[in-house]
Amino acid sequence: MGASPNRAGRNLILSAPNIKSFVGFSGLPVRKLGINSVHVDMNLHEEMTLLARQAKAASRQLAKLTGEEKNACLMAMADALESKSAVIQQANQADLEAAKNAGLSPAMLDRLALDNRRVSAMARGLREVAALPDPVGRVLDERVRPNGLRLRKVSTPIGVIVIIYESRPNVTADAAGLCFKSGNAVILRGGKEALRSNLAIGAAMVEAALSVLPKFPVHSIQLVPRTEREAIPVLLSLTQYIDLCMPRGGEGLIRAVAECSKVPVIKHYKGVCHVYVDREADLEMAERIVLNAKLQRPAVCNAVETLLVDRPIARNFLPAIARRLAEKNVLFYADAESFPLLSEARDQHGNPLRLQPATEQSWSTEYNDYVLNVRIVDGVAEAVEHINRYGSAHSDAIVTRDEARAMQFLNEVDSAAVYWNASTRFTDGGEFGMGAEIGISTDKVGARGPMGLEELTSYKWVGIGSGQVRT
């Protein structure tokens, strides 16, 4: 069989020194851990088929585990992330150095970076998932037919889920933990910029699960060892093994996955989020919300990209909020009405703002950076019209003291999450009390918004009879 392409990327994964350095397997071979399942003599299709087939077999074994067994594994995984934090951060540092050399933006480097706080947050997320009720086996509906046939609608795992994501290595822990708790085998395909980090996280989790549950199905958590894009359509053509794909990343990635996949895809195209500051807003509150929504983590999908300001308050509010945003050197794209107001504003050093005229394309762009669109609108109706036209149905907020105006906004904006007097940054599985999230769906059929354990289950009908036959 022909040797696979992308030899350099695979050598990183396969060489023993790199495995020891970045993963710290405590003597367990990679194959036993199920992290890579790499065979150097396999071609791309054979390798992806092996991953998928192993995942399908693992999903059958997962279905036999009790809730207590799954929770014990999750708690061990959480402990392992913290005990191996130095190893994980060493791997992450190598990823960061490579990413800097490749020219990634500061905002994208922030998405990639791990520190003690973020590793602890991953561990905390796993513990929170362990504390949640088991989503499998819930009776969703129950009825008795006139002939005495008893029917129950019972939640079940989906089966095998492929998660494709970029940059953020915390997704590895979140996705693996949620899929495991919900009884699903997962195949993780992270971005090449986070390869070392993802391998270290995945290895720590699988090794920990094996330590407390020897029958843990090692192929229930697998990482795709190939970084070339051609691996994705091959993997997503294997409908006999793969049940669902969930891509997380930029719009280009999501669309490419949706177009090539032969398995169902739950999409999260992009996060073009808005904050609308109403004429009845508490302006100090509005300032806090806008600063948080834009500046806390600008590269994440629930960060605000467009600020809409009601016309009666624009002259007072816009220069003030712009000065605060300029402390982070934010670039503004302003509409024709707000441009003169922002042109007169100065930053804390007395310098003009970084300011450009907005274009039609600006309003539908997800920047993931210190960039903000600004537009003046005439009340709630025009704000709603703008959001429904240009937004991505992700997360949008209104700041106002007027309940009627707030309710109009909440009822008419067609997004997965809408907020009154709160930041869009709360659209997150952890913040919603889900423990962690597998993604944020902007679809309208099936799951919508942050996806936790319940969204990772399907169901089946169970009929219990006493000899009934249909007449």
Q: What is the tens place of the pLDDT at every residue in 164-185? A: 988 789 999 999 999 999 999 9
Helix (H) or strand (E) holding 460: strand 457-464
Residue 206 pLDDT: 97
Amino acid at 397: A
- Name the nearest CA neighbour of 245 among 158, 121, 128: 158
- Name the nearest CA neighbour of 452 among 66, 210, 184, 65: 184
Q: In which residue are the tokens 């973020």 written?
A: 118
Amino acid at 435: G
Q: In which residue are the tokens 């009845």 written?
A: 280
Residue 229 pLDDT: 86
Neighbours of 42 (CB within 10 A): 17
The dihedral over CA atoms of 42, 43, 47, 48, expressed in degrees to the nearest 10, equals: -170
What distance in Å separates the CA atoms of residue 83 and residue 286, rounded to the nearest whole number? Answer: 41
Backbone φ and ψ of 140, nearest 5°: -85, -25
pLDDT-derived band at 288, boundaries 50, 70, 90: very high
Residue 2 pLDDT: 38
Task: Write down all domains in the chain, each with its CATH number in brackets.
Answer: 7-260 (3.40.605.10), 273-431 (3.40.309.10)
In the predicted structure, residue 384 carries a pLDDT above the cut 80? yes
Q: Which two tokens stand for residue 24?
A: 């710290």
In the predicted structure, residue 18 carries a pLDDT above the cut 90? no
In the predicted structure, residue 262 carries a pLDDT above the cut 90? yes
Q: Which two tokens stand for residue 98?
A: 């490579």
Neighbours of 46 (CB within 10 A): 15
What distance in Å separates the CA atoms of residue 189 and residue 172, rounded to the nearest whole number? Answer: 9
The bridge status of strand 139-144 relative to strand 150-157 is antiparallel
Helix (H/G/I), strand (E/B), else coil: 273: strand
Q: Which two tokens stand for residue 196?
A: 């070392």
Q: What is the tens place of the pLDDT at every residue in 416-466? A: 999 999 999 999 887 888 766 777 888 887 788 988 899 999 999 999 999
Q: Would you tell me the crossing angle of helices 116-131 and 85-101 to the nearest 10 degrees?
A: 120
Helix (H/G/I), strand (E/B), else coil: 385: helix
What distance in Å separates the CA atoms of residue 277 and residue 100, rounded to the nearest whole number? Answer: 37
- Name the nearest CA neighbour of 237 among 254, 255, 259: 259
Q: What is the tens place of the pLDDT at every residue in 36-91? A: 434 445 789 999 999 999 999 999 999 999 999 999 999 999 999 999 999 999 99
Residue 24 pLDDT: 28
What distance in Å separates the CA atoms of residue 156 and residue 137, rounded to the nearest whole number? Answer: 6
What distance in Å separates the CA atoms of residue 34 and residue 314, rounded to the nearest whole number? Answer: 57
Amino acid at 27: G
CB 318 within 8 A of CB 345: yes
What distance in Å separates the CA atoms of residue 252 and residue 228, rounded to the nearest whole number? Answer: 16
What distance in Å separates the CA atoms of residue 268 and residue 158, rounded to the nearest whole number? Answer: 19
In the predicted structure, residue 268 carries a pLDDT above the cut 90? no
Q: Which two tokens stand for residue 295?
A: 């500046």
Mean pLDDT on 102-109: 88
Q: Which residues pair with 450 in a beta bridge?
A: 440
What distance in Å separates the CA atoms of residue 434 and residue 449, rounded to the nearest whole number? Answer: 12
Q: In which residue are the tokens 């992700």 written?
A: 394
Q: What is the tens place of the pLDDT at every residue in 304-345? A: 999 999 999 999 999 999 999 999 999 999 999 999 999 999
Residue 435 pLDDT: 66
Mean pLDDT on 283-305: 96
pTM score of the predicted model: 0.77
Residue 376 pLDDT: 98
pLDDT-derived band at 375, boundaries 50, 70, 90: very high
User: Mean of the per-residue pLDDT values for the chain?
Assistant: 89
pLDDT-derived band at 409, boundaries 50, 70, 90: very high
- Name the nearest CA neighbour of 221 among 175, 182, 156: 175
Q: Which residues contact 274 (CB under 8 A, 6 or more apart)?
A: 304, 305, 306, 307, 308, 383, 386, 387, 391, 396, 397, 424
* Cα Dmax for the chain: 85
What distance in Å separates the CA atoms of residue 158 and residue 294, rounded to the nearest whole number? Answer: 36
CB 142 within 8 A of CB 129: no
Q: Which residues pair with 6 in a beta bridge?
A: none
